[in-house]
């Protein structure tokens, strides 16, 4: 009987802590950020991407972006990160945004554009949007170099 009571107390403690975490997240992050972070659709590596880039951010997070192209149009984009939820949200939203874009149009996506798409991030997390965009730009640079070598 005592073991069952201890188990119930533990379950209540865990449930209370989870409610506190959920309330704090909802106070700090937009519904868009939470959805992107909790349900990333583009997380993962691509087999034989046309372009791949990796950048380590100043916060210690690393972002990778893979692109699959049809000519100069991004057909698919995937990302990996070892970072926090805002890194996941930034990578996921950005790779969704650039699908179907030309390399030139994707190269024009700014951290501000990404922050707007996410409905904002707390000031201490905006670097995640910058990391994602900088990694995308590096992947675009890789794609352009590969394309120019193919044209030679």
pTM for the model stands at 0.85
When pLDDT is cut at 50, 70 and 90, the band that residue 10 belongs to is confident
pLDDT of 102? 98
* Residue-number span of the structural domain to which 20 is assigned: 2-29
CB atoms < 10 A from the CB of 13, how many?
10
Task: Looking at the structure, tell me whether residues 58 and 91 fall in a common domain.
Answer: yes
Q: What is the C-alpha to C-alpha distance for residues 118 and 133, in angstroms, rounded to an integer?
A: 13
Q: Which of 69, 63, 113, 111 is nearest to 91 (CA)?
A: 63
Task: Looking at the structure, tell me whether residues 51 and 110 fall in a common domain.
Answer: yes
Task: Looking at the structure, tell me whether residues 42 and 115 fall in a common domain.
Answer: yes
The residue with tokens 């670097």 is 127
CB 79 within 8 A of CB 65: yes
Average pLDDT over residues 41-55: 97
């Amino acid at each position: 009987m005592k073991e069952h009571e201890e188990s119930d107390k533990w379950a209540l403690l865990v449930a209370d802590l989870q409610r506190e975490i959920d309330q704090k997240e909802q106070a700090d992050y937009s519904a868009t950020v939470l959805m992107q972070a909790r349900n990333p659709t583009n997380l993962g590596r691509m087999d034989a991407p046309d372009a791949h880039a990796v950048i380590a951010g100043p916060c210690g997070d690393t972002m990778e972006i893979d692109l699959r192209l049809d000519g100069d149009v991004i057909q698919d984009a995937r990302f990996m990160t070892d970072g926090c939820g805002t890194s996941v949200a930034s990578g996921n939203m950005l790779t969704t945004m650039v699908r179907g874009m030309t390399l030139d149009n994707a190269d024009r996506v700014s951290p501000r554009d990404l922050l707007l798409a996410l409905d904002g991030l707390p000031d201490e997390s905006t670097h995640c949007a910058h990391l994602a965009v900088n990694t995308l730009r590096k992947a675009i640079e890789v794609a352009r170099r590969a394309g120019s070598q193919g044209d030679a």
